[in-house]
Chain A
Amino acid sequence: MKASGDFHYRIGSRIGGWRPGAHAGLARGAGDDFVVHASLFERPDPRRVDLRASLRDPRGDWLVRVARQRSQVAVAAAVDVSASMNFGTPARKLDLAADFVAALGRASFAAGDPLSLCAFDRCCHDDLRTPPTRQPGLAELFASRLRSTPCRSSGHDGLIDALMPLAGRQALVFLVSDFHGYGSDLDAALDLLVRARVTPIVVWSPDEIEPPDQDGLLRLRDLESGRLRDLWLRPRLRSRWRAAVAERRRTLQARFLARGIRPFFLTAPFDGDALTRHFLEGE
């Protein structure tokens, strides 16, 4: 069964902002999310007079229903295009990321939220950046440009710069990366996003987490540092490999959970339903 390429995101908490949208918000306005009754003097909106409540009101005021409007939320995704994302056959990890970005474009269009996209590696890529937009085509275009990105440079120092426009804002932020080699810079980046709801998309290729079945000499070169590692693959080493992957997964999860963030682990192929479930479970 082919995994669905579409997903829906949800935001667990109410969000601020006046612009009407699809998410539960804090702003009062037109909506069916009742908050409180107010007197017509305070809220001179006769359309919303609640007759039944007015009759029951001991003071005999005309009461008006006050509701929260549904708000939109700014959605952003920052995609790691460093060399390590160049890994995986037939689909590179960056191709998986592109699948996700395209799906995000469709999801945000469905929700009517503005979506901004950017890419980073050693620096922030200005040529790979879209301003907040509701056009679905732009995300598709961005995804296709990701697919053709060669991924040459190493590092992820551009992460902070890429996230700077989102600093302190309420937003739904997707950090798309394999999170290899992140240190305190990840904390600094997450500090920027205190008011945002962050969803790390941890892109790991199946080739990366699962050792080859064959026994023999495996010569590997770090895509970022160029360091070499020669492994003599055998059952014992294979189990150590898997243990190392599990350990890395646990560490990463613990690190994010300390900030109340639940990462989503993305392996090929991109499974939208799983991501939707991830959001549902996060309620």
Chain B
Amino acid sequence: MSVDIDFLRPAMLALMPLAVLPLIARATEAGGYPDVGWLPADPLGRGIGLALRAMAALAIAALVIALAAPGRPRTVELRTGRGAEVLLLIDRSRSMDERMLPNDWRRLGPFEIRHQTRSRGRVKSQAARELLGEFVARRPDDRFAVSFFSASTLHVVPFTDHDEVVQAGIAAGGVHRGLSETDVGRALVSSLARFEKRAYTGSRIILLVSDGGARLDRDTQMAIRAGFERQRVTLYWIYLKGFGRPDLEQAGEASAAIPEVALHRFFQTLPTPYRAYQAESPEDLAAAVADVGREQNHPLDFEERIPRSDHSRRFVAAALLLVASLLVARRWELRGTS
């Protein structure tokens, strides 16, 4: 723990000489007396009087210090908390602008579903953004990074514990429609590189939010596998399954031709933990996000930025105490000589 002190308004300390005023100034409220030399010397009274003036001086000094706003500067402390480093990798392709099933889709007939989904369902990207926003807000101990991907990967927010910036990054994803292409393989390689040169602190997660898959070529697969192995990153895939889109868990050889299933099967071969959540409606999405939140609570060493702590209140309190004591002491002060 450092004892550094800094001042927000150091110029105010120039007022410090005011503190000697009560010591040097003639007390104006003291009663006049023709010749004090005549009176008996009283060390007790002298001591009390001196103490009162010292208290007044201290009150002024405390006020001047409080005005200068002392505090411990912003520091970084190494803390162990429960949390993770989470990279939110969000698909920003145009298909994410499509709608999900409405919440009451189970009660709808098969004919209505298609129609109602077009008109009523939540837009996938919007639902994902809102839930991710909540997820971030509920996990203050985690450090987040936000990246979007389409044809290229847009690493928008590098790892930070400033939730506000993370939320701003997520919110930016909602401005206007998505881009045309997606390259999830490239995005994963590039995202894994984000963990490079960062101290391994406990728990690393890539939270992939997308609605589509891809068949990855062998080079990309190797790069991804190596990346996950080296960086020890857990992968969560929240698959926003649109109406009529393939189920990840389809069995059979033939289904390997479906990009989503192919991607899922590749992820299952990764050396690090992997889980997939298929979300068809906002409900499912919320359940998936909550699930991730429950699972990842490993101890995490992280550098916590301790904001500047202001100490001026302590000095105000000290000054108040002194002023109050002076006020109380006045009860024993005789009024004049009469």
Contacts and interface: CB of A to CB of B under 8 A. Distances in A.
Q: Do A and B come from one complex?
A: yes
Interface of A: 84-87, 89, 93, 178, 180-181, 205, 207-208, 212, 214, 216-233, 237, 240-241, 243-245, 248
B334 A89 contact: no
B35 A222 contact: yes
Contacts of B46: 229-230
B281 to A, nearest CB: 80
B39 interface: yes
A244 B40 contact: yes
B29 to A, nearest CB: 8
Contacts of A228: 26-27, 30, 36, 49
Given A180-B35, A220-B36, 9 more contacts: A87-B34, A207-B338, A217-B334, A218-B334, A221-B27, A223-B33, A230-B50, A232-B42, A244-B40
B333 interface: yes
A214 B42 contact: no
A72 to B, nearest CB: 36
Nearest to B332: A216
Contacts of B34: 84-85, 87, 93, 178, 180, 205, 208, 222-224
Interface in B10-38: 26-27, 29-38
A39 B336 CA distance: 72
12 contacts: A87-B34, A181-B37, A216-B333, A218-B333, A220-B33, A221-B33, A222-B36, A223-B34, A224-B34, A228-B49, A230-B48, A241-B39
B31 A214 contact: no
Given A89-B338, A222-B33, A180 B39 contact: no
Nearest to A213: B334
Nearest to A219: B30
B38 A218 contact: no
By DSSP majority rule, is chain B's interface helix, strand, loop, or mixed? mixed
A178 B38 CA distance: 12
Nearest to A208: B34
Q: Which 6 pairs between the two chains have the least Cβ-Cβ distance?
A: A230-B49, A84-B34, A180-B35, A219-B30, A232-B45, A229-B36
Nearest to A247: B38
Given A228-B49, A232-B44, A218 B337 contact: yes
Measured as residues with beta carbon below 8 angstroms from the partner, the interface class of chain B is 20 to 34
Contacts of A214: 334
A177 to B, nearest CB: 11
A231 B47 CA distance: 9
B40 A219 contact: no
A80 to B, nearest CB: 11
Nearest to B28: A221
A217 B49 contact: yes
Contacts of B337: 207-208, 212, 218, 220
B31 to A, nearest CB: 5
Contact of A220 (B30, B48, B50): B30
Contacts of B26: 221, 226, 228
Contact of B32 (A217, A220, A231): A220
Contacts of B52: 217
A178 B45 CA distance: 26
Nearest to A181: B35
B44 to A, nearest CB: 5
A57 to B, nearest CB: 65
A224 B32 CA distance: 9
Contacts of A231: 39-40, 42, 45
Interface in B26-79: 26-27, 29-40, 42, 44-46, 48-50, 52
Given A226-B26, A230-B42, A221 B48 contact: no
Contact of B45 (A93, A217, A226, A248): A217
Given A214-B334, A232-B48, A219 B31 contact: yes
